[in-house]
Chains A and B, each alone.
Chain A
Amino acid sequence: NAGVTQTPKFRVLKTGQSMTLLCAQDMNHEYMYWYRQDPGMGLRLIHYSVGEGTTAKGEVPDGYNVSRLKKQNFLLGLESAAPSQTSVYFCASSYTGGGTEAFFGQGTRLTVV
């Protein structure tokens, strides 16, 4: 049982390049989330999904897009990377909303130069 798996773990991008971060969960969870973690800022919600085929904006959605074509996968895209998007990105999933806890991936460290 792998839980939540993020790919890749590390990436360096040049300004203006695009990339996609993949999150996969094998727990049959309905809800999935993308967060970014920056020093002193905690975790900020970028986008989330409450089920296959649905997505919604979080606190800091600008510059990112997401897709949830399959229940087990949640993709985060950067169309034109900027240095301000240098961060550690975490994917999480939970069975539902409400009182169910979220399970986190190991993170992706992204540097935009």
Chain B
Amino acid sequence: AQSVAQPEDQVNVAEGNPLTVKCTYSVSGNPYLFWYVQYPNRGLQFLLKYITGDNLVKGSYGFEAEFNKSQTSFHLKKPSALVSDSALYFCAVRDRGSTLGRLYFGRGTQLTVWP
């Protein structure tokens, strides 16, 4: 069964410090991996995705994520956090080998950046 784990419910960082939001996954085949962000009372917005190739992918708003196949992880990172980055972040996975097209989400990590 496909699953996505975000081991931290909350991450707190000071503005200007680097941030990491963790994600690990379990799929039967090779995954497509995604990160989304949700601001209060809004829908989810796409940040970045891993399809193939370079394990480090860059996305919107200065975010990047590193795919690690051996550790089955896809951690979201940013070198210097901003207060405006405070939001709920979701990791998502889709099984590359499946024709069903299901997109599974983790439980989310609340990021708070302190000024």
Q: Which of A22-62 contact B (CB under 8 A)?
A: 31, 33, 35, 40-45, 48, 50, 56, 58
Q: Report B-chain residues with C-beta under 8 Å of the C-beta of A35.
A: 105
- In the complex, which of the residues B45, B99, B103 contacts A45, with contact meaning CB atoms closer than 8 Å? B103
Query: Taking beta carbons and an 8 Å cutoff, which residues of B are in contact with A?
Result: 6, 9, 32, 34, 36, 41-46, 49, 51, 90, 92, 94, 96, 98-108
Task: Give chain A nearest CB distance to B13 CB in angstroms.
Answer: 22
Q: Report B-chain residues with C-beta under 8 Å of the C-beta of A106.
A: 42-43
Q: A42-B108, A43-B44 are in contact. List 16 more A-B contacts (CB 8 A).
A: A31-B101, A42-B90, A42-B105, A43-B108, A45-B103, A50-B101, A92-B44, A97-B98, A97-B101, A99-B51, A99-B96, A101-B34, A104-B36, A104-B43, A106-B42, A107-B41
Interface membership of A94, Cβ < 8 A:
yes
- Quick check: A105 and B49 within 8 Å, CB to CB? no
Q: Which of A78-113 contact B (CB under 8 A)?
A: 90, 92, 94, 96-99, 101-107
Q: Report B-chain residues with C-beta under 8 Å of the C-beta of A101.
A: 34, 46, 49
- In the complex, which of the residues B36, B49, B90, B101 contacts A96, with contact meaning CB atoms closer than 8 Å? B101
- Quick check: A42 and B46 within 8 Å, CB to CB? no
Q: Report A-chain residues with C-beta under 8 Å of the C-beta of B34.
A: 101-102
24 A–B contacts, CB within 8 A, in A order: A33-B103, A42-B105, A42-B107, A43-B90, A45-B104, A58-B102, A90-B43, A92-B44, A92-B103, A94-B101, A97-B101, A97-B102, A98-B96, A98-B101, A99-B49, A101-B34, A102-B44, A102-B46, A102-B92, A103-B46, A105-B43, A106-B42, A106-B43, A107-B41
Name B98's closest neighbour in chain A (CB-CB). Answer: A97
- Quick check: A50 and B90 within 8 Å, CB to CB? no
- In the complex, which of the residues A4, A48, A103 contacts B101, with contact meaning CB atoms closer than 8 Å? A48
